[in-house]
Amino acid sequence: MNVCGNGWREWPMITFGRMATPHADAVPSLTQLTEDEQLLRISVREFSTGRIRPLVREMDEHAKFPRALIDDLFGLGVMGIEIPESYGGSGGTFFHSVLVVEELSRVDPSVGVLVDVQNTLVINALLRWGNSDIKQRTLPKLASKSVGAYALSEAVSGSDAFALQTRAGLDGDHYVLQGRKLWITNANEADFFIVFATISPEAGYKGITAFLVERGTPGFAVGKKEDKLGIRASSTCELVFDQCRVPAANVIGEVGKGYKVALAALNEGRIGLDEQMLGLAIGALDHAVKYTKERKQFGRNIADFQGVQFQLARTATEIEAARLLIYNAARLRDQGKPFLTEAAMCKIFSSEVAERAASLAVNLFGGNGFVKEYPVEKLYRDAKIGQIYEGTSNLQLQTIAKQILS
């Protein structure tokens, strides 16, 4: 009999034969990397360990990247990952960007965010919304020497980003920008800024327009640099626009459709920041494992105590769960499938995992966890930003709740 009955309807029996044997079109595991992806991971890991690690403490103390390090990131090919080779870029995928940010953040999340904003926000937005003239003017430089920044937030508009007040008025073939942006990552290093302003505050989000503003444009200045708790080497500054004339040809996307540019970039960029948090958590666990295998108390390595082992095991499990969420969201994005809720879930989860992993590392280092001579207090400070930028944790929960209640 090949049907099973429930009294009122017959159901065809499922045939498991083909499913039981692994076959060519079986779905690969999310963490299975292609040969290219494995090579990329190895190269960036070597760079992070050899080139970045010796600079981490100094960059944190001085709150600055040496320009030579940024030049080396360009040389490595990680500042224009998705830029097509025809523009001088690396011709990679979004998933490649995610892997790079993970490996960099494992050693220094400040470097992770520099590279993340460049790739997953700025370049991503220009590739999708820039016309061919804008692409010609920006992409070859962004792939070879120029840093980019993404300027949406203002003093009055953070979570409620579209309440922004920076004005853009048309004057001949230019727009005149007036206003201030706050919290802009990469502002100190950037040559290109994607700036969101409103052409009509009464139109609400439908007035928002995205502009390309170049460093050196009269009326535009990078203002005060923030003195931060964590990711200190990454610059976070105010931008000031005072009668700043931007050619109308610098509108990115369509006039009044800047909200689409902003949302699309943020939704994708968020996955990169999740990866920054994942990298941080892995870095913290690496340090904790190494230290607990060396530090002796009660005549034994502290890693020999089951209480310590269980804490490490729980962190490793959380890291693996965060990795699966993030890799899934990134691969969905590369396949052109919806990923909004998945990205929000990654953000809330990975930022919490990072905070817990860094906190555990500090605990397991004991007194040494509390001083700057050891690397984990920095990771603890760095972890906090994951719950704030590119949409706070509450805003991510709002996105998830909206989806499940719809």
Ligand X SMILES: Cc1cc2nc3c(=O)[nH]c(=O)nc-3n(C[C@H](O)[C@H](O)[C@H](O)COP(=O)(O)OP(=O)(O)OC[C@H]3O[C@@H](n4cnc5c(N)ncnc54)[C@H](O)[C@@H]3O)c2cc1C
Smallest distance, ligand X to C-beta of residue 379, A: 16
Residue placing its CB nearer to ligand X in the complex, 261 or 364: 261
Residues touching ligand X, count (CB under 6 A): 21
The CB density around residue 32, as the number of other CB atoms within 10 Å, is 10
Helix (H) or strand (E) holding 4: strand 3-5
- 277 residue type, one letter: M
Residue tagged active-site, from 82, 103, 189, 390: 390
Shortest distance (Å) from residue 239 CB to ligand X: 10
Closest to 282 measured CA to CA, from 123, 45, 75? 45
Residue 93 φ then ψ, to 5°: -110, 170
Binding mask 108-137 vs ligand X (x if CB under 6 A, - otherwise)? ---------x--------------------
Identity of residue 395: L
Q: Which of residues 216-275 bind ligand X (CB under 6 A)?
A: 228, 236
At 139, give phi and psi (nearest 5°): -60, -45
φ/ψ of residue 243, rounded to 5: 50, 45
For residue 208, give the 3-state DSSP assignment: strand
Contact status: 152 vs ligand X (CB under 6 A): yes
392 contacts ligand X (rule: CB under 6 A): yes
In this structure, what token pair is assigned to residue 11?
């159901």
| 216 SS3 class | coil
Sign of CA dihedral 199, 118, 60, 284: positive
The least distance separating ligand X from the CB of residue 117, rounded to whole angstroms, comes to 6
Q: Report which residue type is found at 28.
A: P
- Stretch touching ligand X by CB under 6 A, among 12-20, 48-56, 70-78, 144-152: 144-152
Measured from the CB atom, the residue of 152 and 280 that comes closer to ligand X is 152
Contacting residue, 150, 175, 220, 291, with ligand X by CB under 6 A: 150
The CA-atom distances, in angstroms, between 371 and each of 57, 347, 375 are 12, 29, 8
Q: Output the smallest distance, CB 71 to ligand X, in A.
A: 22
Does residue number 292 form part of the binding site for ligand X (CB under 6 A)?
no
Residue 162 gets which letter from DSSP? Answer: G
Looking at 49-57, 104-112, 241-249, 384-392, which segment touches ligand X (CB under 6 A)?
A: 384-392
Q: Which stretch binds ligand X (CB under 6 A): 12-20, 282-290, 352-360, 383-391?
A: 383-391
The binder of ligand X chosen from 85, 314, 394, 401 (CB under 6 A):
394
- Contact pick of 118, 278, 390, 399 for ligand X (by CB under 6 A): 390
3-state secondary structure of 45: helix
Pick the closest to residue 90 from 136, 38, 139 (CA basis). 139
Q: Which of 183, 241, 291, 380 binds ligand X (CB under 6 A)?
A: 183
Contact status: 159 vs ligand X (CB under 6 A): yes
For residue 15, give the DSSP letter.
Answer: P
Q: How far apart are CA 242 and CA 239, in angstroms?
A: 10
Query: Is 390 noted as a catalytic residue in this protein?
Result: yes
Q: Does 401 bind ligand X (CB under 6 A)?
A: no
**What residues contact 335, with CB distance under 8 A and at least 6 apart?**
none
With CB under 6 A as the contact rule, which of the stretches 151-159, 169-177, 212-220, 312-320 interacts with ligand X? 151-159
Considering only 63, 184, 199, 273, the residue that binds ligand X (CB under 6 A) is 184
Residues that bind ligand X (CB under 6 A): 117, 150-153, 158-159, 183-185, 228, 236, 385, 388-392, 394-395, 398
Q: Which residues are catalytic?
A: 390
